[in-house]
Amino acid sequence: MHKADHSPAVSAPALTGREAEFAPAPLMVVHPDGVILGVNGAAEELLGRCTGKACWDMVGAIDERRQPICRPGCTGELEHAQALDRRGLARGEPIRLTCRKAGDFVVVEVRSLPEASVDCRVALSRREREILQLVAAGMSSTAIAEELELGVSTIRTYALNARKKLGAKTLAEAVAKGIRCGEIGG
């Protein structure tokens, strides 16, 4: 573990032991003000020497709309939630970014997502994108039909067409491919 040059009023929980040093994903302990206090070996390998620097500058994750996931103050979002779990791009690679409250600090984990063969040249219709987005939000076909004032069979047809265009076997796979291709938000 590398100690921070930044001296907060409270001390950071240590990432110690075999789990921290040999963790499969880069892990960082971040102060509430966004300064990285400590990292494991995987984080240093991925990000270089980042202790004492701003987390959002070092991770630099963006969402499918090319909007920053990591930004000044993002650790403050954890006051209302125990964890934030987002997918996006960091350094051009698909990642899963998980930020968890750990006492007064935040533990940030960055995992690479496997590349899947996704043809992102397909274009979903506005309605197909809208329905996949609602499915991604956890809504059932019946609930989507009610919200959009359409029939359930119409919703299922749009979902089936989206699945076919994305080359997905299941609706869950269509949602994942839609997110990866930037057709819908994550």
Instruction: Give me the CATH topology for the region 17-112.
Output: Beta-Lactamase (3.30.450)
* pLDDT bucket at 56, cuts 50 / 70 / 90: confident
Higher-confidence position of 108 and 47: 108
Residues 5-30 have a mean pLDDT of: 54
Candidates 52, 49, 76, 72; CA nearest to 60 is: 72
Candidates 9, 16, 15, 50; CA nearest to 33 is: 9
Q: What is the pTM of this model?
A: 0.50
Domain covering 126-180 assigned CATH 1.10.8.10 in the classification: no
Residues 78-83 have a mean pLDDT of: 68
Q: Per-domain residue ranges for the chain?
A: 17-112, 126-180
Higher-confidence position of 83 and 49: 49
